[in-house]
Amino acid sequence: MAQAVSNATNAPMKNTILIGEAEVPIRAEEFQKIVAGAIESETESHAFYTSAAGKVRSDALRTLFRDLAGEELGDREFLENYRDNDPKVMNFEVRDYKVTDALRTPELSADMKPLEGMVLAIKRELESMTKNRQLAEAATDAGQKKLYMDLATMAQANKGRLEDIYTNMAFPEAW
């Protein structure tokens, strides 16, 4: 993999990230730092859902949390592959119904109901989405901005998928 070099800092650049039709360079150390943070977040979420699965009494919620833990591992593997194989674009199918945005975040408890577990999972994706959007807004480097927006879009896609499940659980009479 050939690396470009920034004239301003002589810092190695990651190949490029696509922004529309334009390829924008990003410094290798910044790329690694951002993706490493995202990988760590996925690892923490995996640990959270694994721990949550061991704390709840509901078999349905235990299964849900185990499934979510597995998905966090999948997201981590995706990000590791993204980091290691130098792709230029992340693509996600995005829906955001905002169904649960106004609901309070429930506390994790042994007696949690499955819908509360779904709300908790959706809120975690909302937090990730919001954090990455804020980091994108604060970034002055176009490559960093694009990478943070891609991570926000990834969280938004996860949130939309969870909202689909939540809607089917909360409003079965609509189907």
Q: Which residues contact 47 (CB under 8 A, 6 or more apart)?
A: none
CATH code linked to domain 13-174: 1.20.1260.10
Confidence band of 152 (pLDDT split at 50, 70, 90):
very high
78-135 per-position pLDDT tens digit? 889 888 886 555 666 667 677 777 888 888 888 888 888 889 999 999 999 999 999 9
Q: What percent of the chain has pLDDT over 70?
A: 78
Q: Where are the domains of the chain?
A: 13-174
Whether pLDDT at 3 is above 60: no
Quick one: CA torsion of 99, 101, 102, 106, rounded to 10 degrees? 100
pLDDT at 126: 92
Confidence band of 46 (pLDDT split at 50, 70, 90):
very high
Do residues 159 and 96 lie in contact, with contact meaning Cβ atoms separated by under 8 Å?
Answer: yes
What pTM does this model have? 0.73
Please, what is the angle between helix 114-138 and helix 28-55, to 10°? 170
